[in-house]
Amino acid sequence: MKFYIPPQLPRLALAFAVFISLFLVLRHFLVPETFGEYGHYRGASLIDNTKPEIHYSGQQACFKCHQDIEDKKAQDVHSDIHCETCHGPGEKHVLNSKKADILRPSGREFCGSCHVLNAGKLKSTINQIDLNKHNVGKNCIECHNPHQPWEMKK
Partner 1 sequence: MSQSTSAMGNEKIRSSRRNFLKNMTVLAGATLGYTWLKSSQVLLFAAEPKDESLPWYGIVIDIQKCIGCGNCAKACKSENDVPPEPFYFRTWVEQYTVKNDGSVNIVSPNGGIDGFKQTIPNEDIFKSFFVPKMCNHCSKSPCTQVCPVGATFESPEGVVLIDEKYCIGCRYCVQACPYGCRFIHPVKKVANKCTLCYHRLKKGLAPACMEVCPTGARMYGNLRDKNSDFVKYLKEHTTQVLRPHLNTGSKLYYNALSGEVR
Partner 2 sequence: MEPHYQHLYDILAHSQGYIFPNEIDLQWGILIVVYPFITGLVAGAFILASLERVFKVKILKPTYQIALLTALSFLLVATMPLISHLSQPQRAYEIMITPHSSSAMAIFGFVYLWYLAVVLLLEIWFDYRHSMVVWANEKTGILKWIYKILTLGVNDISPRALAWDRKLGYIITVVGIPSAFILHGYVGFIFGSLKANPWWSSPLIPIIFLFSAMVSGIALVMLVYMIVSYIRKKAIDLNVLDSIGKYLFFVLILDFTLESLDQIHRIYEAEESFEIIKLLVSGKLYLTLFVAQGLIGTIIPLITLVFLQFYKHKIRLQKTMYFIVSILVLIGVYSMRWNVVIGGQLFSKSFSGFTSFKVGLIGLDGTLMAAFWLVLPIGILAFLFWLLPPWKMVKEED
Select from 6, 52, 120, 137 the one that contacts partner 2 (CB under 8 A): 6
Q: Taking the complex as a whole, how short is the minimal distance between the CB of residue 112 and partner 1, in angstroms?
A: 8
- Chain positions 22 to 61 lying near partner 2, rule: CB under 8 A, are 23, 27, 30-31, 35, 40
Write the interaction track for partner 1 spanning residues 28-47; mark x where CB under 8 A is met and - where it is not: x--xx--xxxxxxxx--xx-
Nearer to partner 2 (CB atom), residue 44 or residue 126: 44
Cβ neighbors of 23 (< 8 A, separation 6 or more) are none
Within the chain, where are the H helices? 8-30, 45-48, 59-63, 67-74, 83-87, 91-95, 108-115
**Nearest-5° angle of CA 30, CA 11, CA 2?**
135
Structural contact between residues 72 and 147, judged by C-beta atoms closer than 8 angstroms: yes
Residues that bind partner 2 (CB under 8 A): 4, 6-9, 11-12, 15-16, 19, 23, 27, 30-31, 35, 40
